[in-house]
Chains A and B, each alone.
Chain A
Amino acid sequence: MLAVEYFEVECPEPVGAEYYKQITNDVLLDHNLLKVIEKLHIYIDPKVPVFIAVGILKPITNVVRVGDIANVNPLEGKMTLVITEETYLASMLKIFWERFGKDRVEQPDRFTVVLYNVPVAAKEIEEIVIGHPSESLNRDLIYAFRCVAPEGFRLRSERFEKGKFSFVASENTLVENIDELVKAKFALMGETP
């Protein structure tokens, strides 16, 4: 957890806390989410039972453009795009089809896309926005914390806003003063919800 500024797991059972620290680390690493979390505090009390994860996200403002994932090579009447990263390939093709029509877009192989007779310059193609990584971030985080939380804790309450998040899960109905508990956990990190 080198990339995270603050990371603590609080639990009345020290052995359990140690295991959950490892599980959280593994899950966030697997989902590639360590780089977006700045602070994270997890509180688990199996006696209640309740699982609380509160944290602060690093600001993500950048968008992904065609130029970021492909090299654009213009040649008489056609433009060849050599793809270096496939993650946003599907959304890029969708945008090309809508803008230029399917008959002008061809994908001869996995890493090549060819545009025929498109009325725009190569520079303009490179600037087309094809992905917003922050859009799917909340969904990914919720999924990751569902994996971290004990499986029986199926009643959940999540809040993601302004770069701060809280994820509360329990086996029983969530108690009404859960907001106060969340606030107390944020205070431990020196933050307010």
Chain B
Amino acid sequence: MTLVPVTYKGGIYQHDIVTDLIEDLGGYVVQKHVLAQEVVLQCFVPRDDIELIREISRPLFGEVTDSPLVGTEIAVVSMSLEIHHLPHPSCDIAEYVRRIGAKSNMVSLARGPGKRIAGLNDEERDVINEHDTAVYLMGNFETCIEHKMPILLRGIEVPVVVCGGPDKETLIRIVDPPVEGYVGGVGRFMRRTKEADQLDKLDEIIAEITRVLEKKREDIAKDPLSVSPARLMNLIRERVPAILEVTSPTPLTVQLAGLRVKLPYDTFAPELRAMEIEDGITLGDVAAIEPSRMRDYILVKVLPFSETNTVI
């Protein structure tokens, strides 16, 4: 059974029919937003059953659309938190990515701006590495991008998409070491992205991120995970009631190959490790439970089949 990421949008009336259906079909609801009279579900559903969901939700005026970024966590790396980079373009891009279903975090560097003075410290590096992919928002000058990229990419292990002012060909030529994705013509600007050509650029960024993540998904599929992160999310929600008290918008953030649990590591890590998934197999058997560099959260890294010899 192949699960595909989709977004369901519909009225709040009787939306539990859809939620129950998704769960009965073996799918998972990753995020649920209730906005006034509307409900938005970001979920994984079996590919063959999408038509069935469409049919059943038709009387409720529900709409099912593909959302390739559901279940991913993306770092939008901004060079600083100054007026030069915020709210445009950093927030515009972070927000646009969020609309397509991803969970985006903005990572702002302490010494990001400049050419000679730019740097990346170990905390920033580790936080970026905790994500599925990183989108680097660079400036307008190729001299600066060429000079600082090797420093900003030092120690980064996740796929990177670089956005910058020069065109795509120039970016491919100057960025060293090479990265997975490039989007040209999106450097520093100080106006809201609302015109058609600017929105096209945002779509181009989404397309590039999607391409990079699809490749990562394919790599994971070659050596499948011992347990699906979306399934783990539901299990943790059932077995660890403390997660229901967390006020963060996404207390459990699903990633491609793991899960961020927004509970203190020291208190809850032993409980999570001992949590039984099925037939006596505990979470500690199939995943590495590590402290996150982001606050004192817990990072659950699901191990692949080749390491655990189990798939549940």
Report if A26-B113 is in contact (Cβ < 8 Å); known contacts: A16-B141, A19-B165, A150-B139.
no
Contacts of A121 in B (CB 8 A): none
Interface size on B, residues (CB 8 A): 26
CB distance from B291 to the nearest CB of A (A): 32
Chain A residues lying within 8 Å of B245, measured Cβ to Cβ, are none
By beta carbon, the residue of chain A nearest B185 is A15
| A16 contacts B83, C-beta separation under 8 Å | no
Instruction: Convert A1-43 into 0s and 1s, putting 1 for each residue whose CB lies closer than 8 angstroms to a CB of B.
Output: 0000000000001011001101100110010000000000000
- CB pair A151–B190 under 8 Å, yes or no, is no
Measured between alpha carbons, how far is A16 from B140 in the docked complex, in Å? 5
Write the B48-73 contact mask toward A (1 if CB under 8 angstroms, else 0): 00000000000000000000000000
Residue pair A26, B189 in contact (C-beta under 8 Å): yes
Indicate which residue in A19, A153, A171 contacts B140 across the interface (CB closer than 8 Å). A19
Q: Which residues B55-113 have CB closer than 8 A to chain A?
A: 79-80, 82-85, 113
With A15-B140, A16-B165 as known contacts, state yes or no: A152 contacts B117, CB within 8 Å. yes
Which residues on A are within 8 Å of B, measured CB to CB? Answer: 13, 15-16, 19-20, 22-23, 26-27, 30, 44, 46-47, 49, 147, 150-154, 171-172
A-B contact sample (4 more), CB < 8 A, given A26-B191, A152-B114: A15-B167, A22-B189, A151-B114, A171-B115
Binding site for A on B (CB under 8 A): 79-80, 82-85, 113-118, 139-144, 165-167, 187-191
Those 4 A-B pairs whose CB atoms lie nearest each other, nearest first: A152-B114, A151-B113, A152-B113, A46-B141
> Can you name 23 A-B pairs with beta carbons within 8 Å?
A15-B165, A15-B166, A15-B167, A19-B165, A19-B187, A22-B191, A23-B188, A23-B189, A27-B190, A44-B141, A46-B115, A46-B141, A46-B144, A49-B115, A147-B84, A150-B113, A150-B114, A150-B144, A152-B114, A152-B117, A152-B118, A154-B114, A171-B117
